């Protein structure tokens, strides 16, 4: 299910639940970290992605991050982040397409920001494997801070196990609060 949300202050978000955008490139390298993880309350694979466009101080911040979580009883959370080291293919039809050029993939310089945003995922998701394997970025609008924020939102989205997202609940409870600092 794909939902597009028009949030306050001209912010926009596109959310995928139970599926991922067609951005996975099996040739991308992966960086990996291990975090302690409690026993997961999730019982099956969860997928989700979030694309955000946040107008801020004369520019529009942009990022897209998606992935899947597979629960295990290992006692740890393995986080894998796919990174692209080369220029990627342009991605038409993104939320930022008419403001900036958007490219598929996550540049390696944003990987630490994704890991920082996922920092509490072992407590939130529990033990298992979290693969952040689809992403998009823009040369002007993307930033480490934006990828840290959408990584945090992605973890909470996957943990919610919700089948749909309404503008009201995400505007008030999640997205606006999490990106209020822009």
**What is the per-residue DSSP string for 133-165?**
EEEEE-TTT--HHHHHHHHHHHHHHHHH--S--
The secondary structure of 37-57 as a DSSP string is ----S--S-EEEEEEEEEEET
Beta bridge partners of 63: 52
Alpha-carbon distance of 122 to 41, in angstroms, equals 12
10-residue stretch averages of pLDDT, the chain, 182 residues long: 78 88 80 86 88 84 94 90 81 82 91 91 87 92 92 88 53 48 38
Query: Given this model, what pLDDT does residue 22 score?
Result: 85
Look at residue 97 in the predicted model and tell me its pLDDT.
79
Q: Which residue has the tokens 């202050």?
A: 9
């Amino acid at each position: 299910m794909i939902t597009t949300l028009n949030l306050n202050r001209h912010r926009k978000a596109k959310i995928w639940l139970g599926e991922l955008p067609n951005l996975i490139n099996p040739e991308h390298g992966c960086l990996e970290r291990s975090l302690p993880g409690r026993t997961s309350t999730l019982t099956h694979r969860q997928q989700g992605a979030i694309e955000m466009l946040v107008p801020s101080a004369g520019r529009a911040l942009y990022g897209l991050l998606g992935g899947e979580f597979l629960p295990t009883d290992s006692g740890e959370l393995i986080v894998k982040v796919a990174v692209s080291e080369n220029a990627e293919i342009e991605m038409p039809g993104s939320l930022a397409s008419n403001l900036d050029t958007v490219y598929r993939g996550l540049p390696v310089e944003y990987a630490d920001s994704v890991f920082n945003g996922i920092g509490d995922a072992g407590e939130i998701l529990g033990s298992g494997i979290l693969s952040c394997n689809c992403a998009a970025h823009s040369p002007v609008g993307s930033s480490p801070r934006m990828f840290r924020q959408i990584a945090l939102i992605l973890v909470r989205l996957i943990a919610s196990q919700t089948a749909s997202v309404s503008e009201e609940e995400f505007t008030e409870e999640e997205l606006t609060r999490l990106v209020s600092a822009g």
